[in-house]
Amino acid sequence: MTKRKTLFLLTLGMLALIATARAENPLQTCSNPVVPARLLPGPFGILAGVWAANVPALIPLADVRAALPAIPGAGLLLSGLPSREVLFTAYLQRLANDYESQHILYRSVPLSDCSGMFHRLLQRMKETFPGFAYPEVAEARSSRALAQWYYDRAALHVIDDAAGSGHLIRPGAILFFGQVGKAYPHPTIEQLTTPGTGIMHIGTVVGVEKDEAGNTIAYTMFHARGRGKPASHTRHYLRHPGNPGLPAFGNWRQQWLAVAYMDTGTE
């Protein structure tokens, strides 16, 4: 057994003991409570799922890291754990794959259009990673309302130069696109949120491809794709191999206008 796996198993064992102890003491309170032992997936849980490329259950990473400092040698153990970004991305990818397997057709059921599918992802991510700011369906149902919600929290990046903004694309990014075939030389939030002329579509990035220099050249997005099509993954490019005249990183003929992130801070 490798040193990494040994540290991992030791960590999980101690975390299980801590969770069990806190679950048996209902009077103990803290600002970031550990998930009760009954929610711990056996035997490895969300961390083991990362190594197996399958995140199967709900344990916020903040709880794991909050427990470790009280354990002797926690620094060494912590170094063997995957980062929050790795766990966040792995769980997002699992959710997207799960929704794609359900073959949910566009506007066939509630929350099955592009903004609705995004809200489905948000609701599940919020259960697992509650430490971020998530818009609710009641306050930001449409794609334009979502853009305004993130803008009001200084968390929306309006894109002037799509080709030069690939570094902003990462898993968990929400990409906002304009009308089909319409050019937006210098988009503004007022323009983006105007029905009929502004944002027409959104999707969630679940994977990114980079060249040898580390520049983003393509990404994979999960989204509700339009009438008659199920929500699924599609690939998008800095320069489309079959049609280099398409807008950079666009959704086919829809220009990329803005980006926000699922893991937006609460402040």
The pLDDT tens digits of the residues spanning 71-83 come to: 444 454 455 678 8
116 shares a domain with 74: no
Residues 250, 235 contacting (CB under 8 angstroms): no
* Domain boundaries, position 96: 91-261
114 shares a domain with 72: no
46-48-53 Cα angle (round to 5): 90
118 shares a domain with 68: no
110 shares a domain with 65: no
The tally of domains found in the chain comes to 2
Task: Indicate left, alpha or beta for 118 from its phi (over 0: left) and psi (-120 to 50: alpha).
Answer: alpha
Whether this model's pTM surpasses 0.75: no
253 shares a domain with 130: yes
103 shares a domain with 47: no
Residue ranges in the chain modelled with pLDDT below 70? 1-80, 267
198 shares a domain with 179: yes
Q: What is the per-residue pLDDT for 2?
A: 57
Final residue before a domain boundary, out of 82, 99, 130 = 82
176 shares a domain with 253: yes
Q: What is the per-residue pLDDT for 82?
A: 83
237 shares a domain with 146: yes
Tokens of 235: 């690939």
Residue 220: CB atoms within 10 A of its CB come to 18
CATH of the domain at 101: 3.90.1720
112 shares a domain with 73: no
Q: What is the per-residue pLDDT for 241?
A: 87
Q: What is the per-residue pLDDT for 259?
A: 98
Q: What is the per-residue pLDDT for 266?
A: 83
Q: What is the per-residue pLDDT for 207?
A: 97
Q: What is the per-residue pLDDT for 63?
A: 42
Positions of E strands within 101-200: 157-158, 173-180
Tell whether 266 is covered by a domain: no
Tell whether 267 is covered by a domain: no
Q: What is the per-residue pLDDT for 56?
A: 40
Residues 62, 88 contacting (CB under 8 angstroms): no
256 shares a domain with 167: yes
Q: What is the per-residue pLDDT for 228?
A: 87
114 shares a domain with 234: yes
